[in-house]
Amino acid sequence: MDKLAKAPEALSQPDLWGAGIKTVAMLSIVVAVLIVVLFLIKRFVYNRPGFVQGGLIDMISLYHVSPKERIGLVDVAGEKLVIGITPEKITCLTQITNPEVDNKIDQARQGKVGKGLFKKILNASVEDRSDPDDQ
């Protein structure tokens, strides 16, 4: 009978500290595994050619026209393309075939410091067209 008398006391006082520590430990393990998996994905998936600069496809510059529309300058295996990007589709606007413009892009890429490369290239092209000495 003594065992039955002690049983209700044991059931009425659960070990909350032990359960809390186990819960926090399991949560920490899950978060650590998630961080390791994300690190491995970043390391092995994004280090392939095509994902990094110097691969076959290189995003030279990107200009935001509106919050969901952009104009991009892309180098694909040595050919430079101007593309329009919207949430629904990607459109090739033009291919840069003029050697002078191609040289300007290469010079701007070598001296690239931070953002605004596409804007600099576009402004330089517009200034050259409106230059009164050429007319």
Same domain, 64 and 32: no
Q: Does an H or E element contain 101, and which?
A: helix 99-110
Same domain, 94 and 73: yes
The verdict on residue 8 lying in a domain is: yes
Is the Cβ–Cβ distance between 65 and 51 less than 8 Å? no
Same domain, 69 and 41: no
CA atoms within 13 A on the CB side of 101: 19
| pLDDT tens sequence across 31-83 | 999 999 998 888 777 665 445 555 677 777 788 888 888 888 888 887 888 88
Q: Which domain holds residue 19?
A: 2-45
Distance CA 107, CA 13 (A): 75
Look up residue 12 and give its amino acid. S
Same domain, 68 and 89: yes
| pLDDT tens sequence across 77-110 | 878 888 888 889 988 888 888 888 877 777 777 7
pLDDT-based confidence at residue 27 (cuts at 50, 70, 90)? very high
Question: What is the average pLDDT score of the chain?
Answer: 76
pLDDT at 135: 46
pLDDT at 129: 60
pTM of the model: 0.46
The verdict on residue 75 lying in a domain is: yes
Q: Name the more confident of 67 and 118.
A: 67
CA dihedral (100, 101, 103, 105) in degrees, to 10, reads: 170
The verdict on residue 50 lying in a domain is: no
Q: C-alpha distances in angstroms, 97 versus 26, 94, 135?
A: 59, 9, 22
pLDDT-based confidence at residue 114 (cuts at 50, 70, 90)? very low
Cα 32–chain centre separation: 23
